[in-house]
Amino acid sequence: MPRWLVALIIILIIIVFILPNPAGTGSYLGNAIDSIVIFFRSIGQSVNSV
């Protein structure tokens, strides 16, 4: 993927999610990280149980 496209996507994410509610960004990011951790734990548990 070209660098300019990655930069454009990052800027778009900042404009859409962070600028409208900067105080809530921490909770959004925390929830996203928690969801990713739960997802990978469930994959690990399903692999270990096979």
Summarize pLDDT for 30-46 with one digit per residue, the tens.
777 788 888 888 887 77
* Tokens linked to 6: 């990655």
* Alpha-carbon distances of 21 from 34, 47, 48, rounded to whole Å: 20, 39, 40
pLDDT of residue 36: 82
Largest CA distance in the chain: 45
Query: Is it the case that residue 21 has pLDDT exceeding 70?
Result: no
pLDDT of residue 42: 85
